């Protein structure tokens, strides 16, 4: 039998070791790459599950608040019904037996606004009567069926009535009242005209 020279055996063994090292490095890289892709895939799946759960949670909240949102919208005046807001202020006087006068009305121009946006409507109100009547008007103004804000509230003593039978003290109340309107499609504000 012929002997294989040591140089060739050494060369073959080095070549085999290099091939094993390269194969090991490739397998290591391949496994790490597979693990990274698997972890990324798991992260994507978990994120998608979380998004789906979040969407379901939001959908549940949306459906459970339909009634409350409709009630909330009733707090705002539709822009086509701005006159009813002014009339409700004027009716306060007939409810308590006093004169309520509105000296000025202001409203945003809803003709140039986009639908479902908010506009403001306001009025300056003046009342005269007994202390009880004046305070009742103020309280009723705060409890109108709309979301309102009162400002510039002034109460002053006006004197006694001319009635000879009963001398009553007369008080004057003035305040600004404002509310939000929801602009509807093709809305025109009567108060702004």
pLDDT bin (cut points 50, 70, 90) of residue 193 is very low
**Is-contact 143 77, C-beta < 8 A?**
no
**Is-contact 144 91, C-beta < 8 A?**
no
CA pair distance 119, 134, nearest whole angstrom: 29
Q: What is the structure's pLDDT at 32?
A: 93
Tokens 């459970």 identify what position? 64
Residue 192: pLDDT over 50: no
Residue 15: pLDDT over 60: yes
87-103 mean pLDDT: 83
Residue 81: pLDDT over 60: yes
Quickly name the fold that domain 77-182 has: Alpha-Beta Plaits (3.30.70)
Give the pTM.
0.55
Residue 137, exposed/middle/buried by CB under 10 A (0-12, 13-18, 19+)?
A: buried
What percent of the chain stands above pLDDT 70?
89
Domain regions of the chain by residue span: 6-64, 77-182
């Amino acid at each position: 039998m012929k002997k294989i020279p040591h140089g060739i055996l050494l060369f073959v063994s080095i070549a085999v070791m290099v091939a094993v090292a390269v194969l090991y490095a490739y397998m290591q890289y391949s496994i790490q790459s597979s693990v990274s892709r698997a972890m990324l895939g798991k992260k994507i799946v978990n994120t998608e599950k979380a998004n789906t759960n979040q969407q379901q949670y939001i959908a549940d909240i949306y459906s459970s608040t339909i009634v409350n949102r409709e009630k909330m919208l009733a707090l705002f005046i539709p822009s086509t019904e701005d006159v009813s807001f002014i009339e409700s202020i004027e009716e306060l006087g007939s409810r308590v037996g006093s004169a309520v006068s509105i000296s000025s009305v202001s409203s945003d121009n809803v003709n140039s606004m986009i639908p479902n946006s908010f506009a403001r409507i306001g009025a300056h109100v003046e009342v005269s009567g007994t202390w009880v009547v004046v305070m009742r008007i103020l309280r009723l103004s705060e409890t109108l069926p709309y979301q309102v804000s009162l400002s510039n509230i002034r109460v002053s003593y006006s004197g006694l009535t001319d009635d000879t039978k009963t001398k009553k003290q007369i008080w004057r109340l003035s305040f600004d009242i404002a509310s939000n309107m929801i602009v509807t499609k093709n809305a025109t504000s009567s108060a702004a005209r």
